[in-house]
Chain A
Amino acid sequence: MNTDIRSLQLLERDLEDVATRERERLVSVDRALDGGHGGPRRLPRRGRGGGHAWGGIAAALVAVLVLAGGIGFLAQGGSSDDSGGGESRAAIDVDSGADGGGAGAGTGGSESGPQATMAPAPAEAPAGDASYLSDEALGNLSESERAAFVGWSLEAGRNAGAPGVAQGVGAVPKQQGDLTKIIRDGRIGIVIADGSFSKGVAGVTQIARRNGGFVLESSSRDERSGALTLRVPAKNFDDTMLALRALSGQLDGEVEFQDITGQDVTAEFIDLQARLDILKDRRELLLDIQADATSTSEILRLAALIDDVQLQIENIQGRLNFLKDQVAEATIKVEVRERDVQREDPGSDPENPSLADSFELAVQGFLRIIGAVVVGLGYLIPLGVIALIGWGVVRLVRRRDRGAN
């Protein structure tokens, strides 16, 4: 160094010592990365603090995402309930739930929507309420099964009062003045004794007919297992489900699974009805104007408008008819199989999902987490911006202070 200042010469020596120590440190790090195998020395890919900086950034990012996920999870109500607006679902694990009686059945994984609610069964439900349950169906059920079934049964479709308010099991159903529109669907799997598949199918068909319904479609495999889709009047839905459960007992079998859902379409129904009324009034008005029209162009223009309104009326009427049909008749899917036959689609059993269903569940879970993170970021980003502005202001003030000094 071309200086005669001793302190600078000493400082140069000190810096050379530091550089030498740093060089040794880098070499030892390289050796550690190379696994102790000699060979030519590789220079570190990054500066001393580069790796740490990236690690810190990654850790901070993960922390923010976890925090956002937590906030999003809490913001979404702290549950993974994905039930739709008006839909309720009730499932019975027959092996564990039925024997537990009404109270026990009420503890297992239910999801309740805002409209259709489930009425927990009293521990001692009236077994012989003839106005509600058929004698045949009740006669073939044990006390615990009866309590379990009724406890999980959707009551909303039967309520005569406010929509969605559950009544007790023994309450007499009333239809008068009931504006509630609920589409009810059920699934039930029955395992029966070997060699009784034909009897089982016949029994299911008979139950559908006796309850005023019919078999919409059916399929079978090797005459030992099959599936039937029943359509029955909504008012006979519960009786039909009970009768199907009883059938399994008659054929020395058991209920494998049961799933009942209720979709409240009251709001949609009322909305469609109101729109229909408005459109009908508009059509009448247009027809009156058309009657008084004098010019050809005006008549043609009004005809086009009337056609448009008419098309809308027909669309809405079609949707209303469909809803009425769905509300009036419930759909029940019945799977029947002999005991030795494996289920064709075990994945449909919520307690025993297949690999495909598991994958689907995993995808849904992943999407749910992403959704929660997105919701959480919606909370965090504005807070972060505010914090950043605050930090900037503080820094600015400090700089001004320094400048003033």
Chain B
Amino acid sequence: MPEERTDTELLIASRTEPEAFTELYRRHAEDLLRYFARRTLDPETAAELTAETFAEAFASRASYRDQGVNGVAWLYGIARHRLGRFFRNGKVDAAARRKLGMPERDLPPEDYERIEDLIDFAPIREALAEALETLSPDQREAMRLRVIDGLGYAEVAERLACTEQNARQRVSRGLRKIALLLQERGMQLTTEVEA
């Protein structure tokens, strides 16, 4: 059985074997999504940032040089840069995906809860409760039901008398707003050690 290549080797090999990059993606996609989700608190934004980071990494893989920085650290360097831009601009750029001809996909409904599961709300629950006051009444109620009370989207939709998709959007936008707000106040949004 051939020896598994390291992340750095995969990244270097991907210059001439583009398929090697997808192996690198498989190894780190979920971790990177969690990284973004715990910092943005928003599944949509986290998914977009993940896609944009991998697209940019693929487009600029030829510029990677093995000079003591391993492949994953280089990938997370791009991720941090992307995250910083999001917090500055309040939106996710899609330039790298457009450059590679990749589609800009909407988040599938089933992924909202799945990605929220990656977010550990416990350490920031108190801060969240304070930040809720800055949201619109619809978003605040959806957030309270989903994040504070821990209800599923079906129940949230039933309580708010709206569709499930609408409930997801309210929570998602509310979370995004809160994440930006907490970032502005200099609050740490994760207790996890970065890669």
Contacts and interface: CB of A to CB of B under 8 A. Distances in A.
B51 A18 contact: no
A405 B88 contact: yes
Given A18-B58, A18-B101, A47-B15, A7 B22 contact: no
B57 to A, nearest CB: 10
Interface centre among B16, B17, B87, B102 (most CB of A within 10 A): B16
A43 B115 CA distance: 39
B18 A22 contact: yes
Interface centre among B15, B51, B105 (most CB of A within 10 A): B15
B19 A14 contact: no
Interface residues of B, number: 36
Contact of A44 (B16, B51, B110): B16
B101 A7 contact: no
A50 B58 contact: no
A14 B111 contact: no
Interface string A252-271: 00000000000000000000
B29 A8 contact: yes
A40 to B, nearest CB: 14
A14 B15 CA distance: 18
A12 B26 contact: yes
Interface in B52-83: 54-55, 58, 60-63
B105 A10 contact: yes
B50 interface: yes
Contacts of A46: 15, 62
B43 to A, nearest CB: 8
A402 to B, nearest CB: 6
B1 to A, nearest CB: 19
B18 A19 contact: yes
Contacts of B33: 5, 8
A16 B102 CA distance: 10
Given A6-B110, A18-B102, A11 B62 contact: no
Interface string B127-171: 000000000000000000000000000000000000000000000
Given A21-B101, A47-B61, A11 B54 contact: yes
B25 A49 contact: no
A385 interface: no
B63 A49 contact: yes
B189 to A, nearest CB: 14
A17 B19 CA distance: 9
A48 B88 contact: no
Interface in B92-141: 100-103, 105, 107-108, 110-111, 114-115
Contacts of B60: 49
A176 interface: no
A14 B102 contact: yes
B35 interface: no
Contact of B108 (A6, A21, A50): A6
Contacts of B29: 1, 3, 8, 11-12
A19 B21 contact: yes
Interface string A391-405: 000000000001001
Contacts of B101: 18, 21
B47 A7 contact: yes
A20 B58 CA distance: 12
A50 B62 contact: yes
B9 interface: no
A124 interface: no
8 contacts: A6-B108, A12-B29, A14-B103, A19-B21, A20-B19, A26-B16, A46-B15, A402-B84
Given A11-B50, A19-B21, 18 more contacts: A4-B114, A5-B114, A6-B111, A8-B47, A11-B25, A11-B29, A12-B26, A15-B25, A15-B54, A15-B55, A18-B18, A19-B58, A23-B19, A26-B16, A43-B17, A44-B15, A46-B15, A405-B87
